[in-house]
Amino acid sequence: MSRKPSQEATSAWARLVRVQQGLLASVESDLKKAGFPPLAWYDALLELSRSQHGALRPVELEKQMLLPQYSTSRLIERLVEAGLAERRVCPVDGRGQFVAITQAGRTMQKKMWEAYSAAIERHVGSKLSNKEAATLCDLLGRLN
């Protein structure tokens, strides 16, 4: 027999989803107003820049991203078209490929961080004390 969630647990779930959606929409809006591409671009560029040699296989990139990305191949194509990433053939397996960040991609990721970090401060940091933010982080970590 399965246990049903309490009203409090159900309310917490609903609020968590609504807050997440609202915050992402606000951050996306801030990036757009600043003239930057969507948050998924930043996330992909960040993960590529953090990886060894600045390159990942597409499936690895999708797993590393903080945002749900159901169309990684389309995102990669847009990054390549914009000159922010490039495709590389795997030297070990000629059929496989890597996606690598370009210097232009590194520059874009750094510029986007300025607007992104300001949005994080505006929508989260300014509303919570450091102690409250740490507590929230701990609570959310228990759900992971």
Sequence-ordered alpha helix ranges (H) in 2-129: 7-33, 39-50, 58-64, 72-81, 103-120
Q: What is the pLDDT of residues 86-107, one digit of tens each?
A: 999 877 776 788 999 999 999 9
Query: What's the mean pLDDT in 62-66?
Result: 85
Structure tokens at 113: 């961080």
Per-residue confidence band for 1, with pLDDT thresholds at 50, 70 and 90: low
Q: Is residue 66 pLDDT above 80, yes or no?
A: no
Output the pTM of the full model. Answer: 0.87
Q: How far is it, in rounded angstroms, from Cα 58 to Cα 61?
A: 5
Domains of the chain, each with CATH number or no CATH: 27-143 (1.10.10.10)
Q: How far is it, in rounded angstroms, from Cα 99 to Cα 143?
A: 32
- Using CA atoms, how far residue 45 sits from 23, 56, 111, in Å, is 21, 11, 11
